[in-house]
């Protein structure tokens, strides 16, 4: 009886994490590129989240665009 509850619990937790992995999307781009100097930055490395290049003060855009 206890083994069935344990198995069901692990199955439910695993299914929960699989659903989170499938449906959770990142809200920020992974890489940003400066339009002016063409340098690529990791999103976590950019301190100014308003989209200003730390090197030349140009506008940053999503790398895919």
Model pTM score: 0.50
Query: If DSSP codes are grouped into helix, strand and coil, which group holds residue 59?
Result: strand
Tens of pLDDT, residue by residue, the chain (65 residues): 578 899 999 999 999 999 988 888 766 667 888 888 888 888 777 776 677 888 888 888 777 76
CA distance 8 to 64: 42
**Could you tell me where the beta strands, DSSP code E, fall in the chain?**
31-34, 40-42, 60-62
Instruction: Supply 22's token pair.
Output: 């499938």
Q: Return the bridge partners of 33, or none.
A: 40, 61
């Amino acid at each position: 009886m206890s083994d069935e509850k344990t198995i069901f619990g692990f199955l439910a937790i695993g299914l929960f994490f699989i659903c989170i992995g499938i449906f959770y999307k990142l809200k920020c781009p992974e890489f940003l590129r400066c339009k002016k100097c063409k340098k690529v930055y990791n999103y976590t490395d950019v301190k100014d989240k308003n989209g200003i290049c730390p090197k030349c003060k140009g506008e940053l855009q999503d790398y895919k665009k």
